[in-house]
A = this chain, B = another copy of it.
Amino acid sequence: MARTTLADMAKLLNVSKVTISKALRNHPDVSSELKTRINDLAIELGYTPNYIARNLYSRRTRTIGVVVPDVSNSFFSYAVHGIIDSADKAGYQIIVTISREEEAMERKNLNTLISMRVDGILISISQNTHNYDVFTAVKKAETPLVFFDRTLPDLGFTSVSVNDYQSAFRAVNYAIQKGYRKIAHLAGTLNTSIGRERCNGYQKALLENNLTVTDEWVIENGFTIEDGKNGFEKLWKQDNKPELIFTVNGHVASGAYAMAQKMGLKIPGDIAFIGFGFREYTDMFNPPMTIISENPDLLGRTAFATLLHEIESKTNEGPKQIVLPLELELRSSC
């Protein structure tokens, strides 16, 4: 048996589809006596409105598409959590897609979301994306889009990010004040905004303190736990070993931690750590890590609120760059 439609109910009750539709939406046009009969029938038949049909007419879906590189990275899980939670409060549904850090997958996801006619898109860019043509397609489709965390400047979209450069500078500067001199950096990927900015802040802090930047101590190889392990190994193979490692995110830090401890090194005695991270994750480390404290949940909420504003405001205010400030939180890894 096919699913109940307005037409089915109209026939059963000998009224028109319009009346059914109005009654179900509690439109004042319909008498309350009729409304009751219609609602009762709807429940009896298990009628559910077909949003597809409704959306086709209204040309709105109340649905937001999200593109993230990797949800096994808990930073993005928490960000998606923030997005879903605030979307729900605003009456929006979320479609989550994952690029797996692949340019082609990212493009495919974006095109699918546009074809699904989502009302807007939230994206954190893949580390391997170099071709930005798909974003001109997004522009043509007139789908509002907001970058979050990993942004793409100069494309004319709004972005929500954190003060990567300053926070990196501050953290490394703090470490230098504490007496550390030999400071390495597990840098993620410099093809991303966060990778670049955090690395720049790190270098700036060294230079301002009259320390030289040692190229072999800047390891660029991704954002995963595995990358942290490999990165630490590379670093520790060198004759000239650092005293402290500045890590680009919590996952890289946890990989480096694990590898250091596997090698029998003491933290912070043999090797100290400081870097970007967030409490739900890095507080579990042993010892807990001194972090530039990110708040992925808040980032997700802010990104959604910003996108919602773009969707619902008629006036085109032009792209905005929203930057969330971050604080240093001291623990015992450094």
Contact = CB atoms under 8 A, between A and B. Distances in A.
A51 B141 contact: no
Contacts of A105: 88
A284 interface: yes
A94 interface: yes
- Number of chain A interface residues as a range: 35 or more
Interface string A30-61: 00000000000000011011111101100001
Contacts of A100: 85
A258 B105 CA distance: 39
A128 interface: no
A84 interface: yes
A97 B96 CA distance: 10
Given A3-B141, A72-B81, A51 B117 contact: yes
A253 to B, nearest CB: 11
B48 A114 contact: yes
Contact of A284 (B3, B95, B98, B254): B254
A261 B286 contact: yes
28 contacts: A1-B142, A46-B137, A46-B141, A48-B111, A48-B114, A48-B115, A48-B141, A50-B56, A51-B116, A52-B52, A52-B55, A52-B56, A52-B61, A52-B117, A53-B56, A71-B77, A72-B297, A74-B74, A81-B98, A84-B97, A85-B98, A88-B97, A93-B116, A95-B96, A254-B284, A261-B286, A284-B285, A285-B286
